[in-house]
Amino acid sequence: MKLRSLRERELISAVRKEFSGKKRNLILGIGDDAAVIRSTSKSLLLTTDLLIEDVHFTASFHPPYYLGRKALNVNLSDIAAMGGRPRFALLGLALRAGTELDYVKKFLMGFKAAAGESQTELIGGDISASAKITISVTVIGEGDHFIRRSGAKPGDSIFVSGCLGDAAAGLDLLKKGFELGKNKKAAALLRAFLDPVPQTELGLTLSTHRAATAMIDLSDGLSVDLLHLCEESRVGADVHLEKLPLSPELRLFEKKPENFALHGGEDYQLLFTVDPRNLGFIEKLQKKYGIHLIGKMRRGQGLSLVDEKGKKRPLEIKGFEHLVS
């Protein structure tokens, strides 16, 4: 047997051994032409993402363990943004010839850890070769009620979970040579980029209580993602500059922290809108989930930035460039 096929089969065997857990409603997992799951009475959520070396991540500063976690977690973030519960995952992995088995093992350990934390089961996938490490993850979730991007109304309050811009600042520092473990003061920023945490529990709470009118996860940056939500909902939005949640670390390391908060991507926090009647419920969640009010939906279209003096100007829409030059 030639090397390529042999290594593929070895890898698939290793993955199969590592991920052989039995899960409720799983009929057939890794190892056949397709995985089989039993239907339940709930609706199913489906999302997929590609992560490509030198586009979405840099192998030299993204430890494989964290890369494995992130590959799954960015998809779990999409499920969280619908208010669903993740259940199953498929993993497509293309590796450079000569990739160390140890690298693959660490990647899989990270993927497995994130799967364990979210009770998501890896049930199938595909392994092949490529010039750049390429990762495709599909996640299947479920739920009874979903929060779309299109339900926001004028007068709804805009909230985000967590702090904004930390991941983009982390990437900025990694490019400058900062390393996790070495630069302790920057650790929170580096970790925000290398190991983002999906807001699954918050998403579920908001959907269970019908507490949000619209929701999206922050992957491309606040300005771009809020615009998506506004366009789908056919409304405009006012964002209050002084209300942007900025972490002490972001203020410490970046001269223009607001720009990172407005346009930095990959925070994988949730952005959602709330009808005035539900503000009381959101208040109760605020401490537990670190939720911040940042503005209000309005009639019209486009985004406005309101400064400390109440002065309004158009908010520039600037997509986060990830690693693409």
CB closer to its own copies out of 47 and 73: 47
- The C-alpha atoms of residue 11 and residue 102 are separated, in whole angstroms, by 11
146 near its own copies, judged by CB under 8 A? yes
Query: Which range of residues in 28-36, 186-194, 234-242, 252-260 is near its own copies by CB under 8 A?
Result: 28-36
The structure tokens listed for 145 are: 């009620």
196 near its own copies, judged by CB under 8 A? no
90, 108, 164, 167: residue in contact with its own copies (rule CB under 8 A):
90
The structure tokens listed for 182 are: 């070495």
318 near its own copies, judged by CB under 8 A? yes
Query: Which range of residues in 129-137, 154-162, 239-247, 300-308 is near its own copies by CB under 8 A?
Result: 129-137
CB closer to its own copies out of 189 and 261: 261
36 near its own copies, judged by CB under 8 A? yes
Answer whether 91's CB lies under 8 Å from 120's CB: no
Q: Is the dihedral of CA 179, 185, 190, 195 positive or negative?
A: positive
The structure tokens listed for 135 are: 């990762």
> What DSSP string describes 278-298?
GHHHHHHHHHHHTEEEEEEEE
48 near its own copies, judged by CB under 8 A? yes
- Amino acid of residue 314: P
The contacts of residue 55 (CB under 8 Å, 6+ apart) are 132, 322, 323, 324
Nearest distance from C-beta of residue 276 to its own copies, angstroms: 24
CB closer to its own copies out of 32 and 308: 32
22 near its own copies, judged by CB under 8 A? no
Bridge partner residues of 295 (DSSP): 158, 239
At 69, is the secondary structure helix, strand, or coil? helix
22, 41, 310, 314: residue in contact with its own copies (rule CB under 8 A):
41
160 near its own copies, judged by CB under 8 A? no
How many residues at the interface with its own copies, by CB under 8 A?
73
Nearest distance from C-beta of residue 186 to its own copies, angstroms: 26
CB closer to its own copies out of 232 and 258: 232
The structure tokens listed for 213 are: 């009118």
Nearest distance from C-beta of residue 188 to its own copies, angstroms: 26
Which residue, 153, 158, 303, 171, is CA-closest to 237?
303
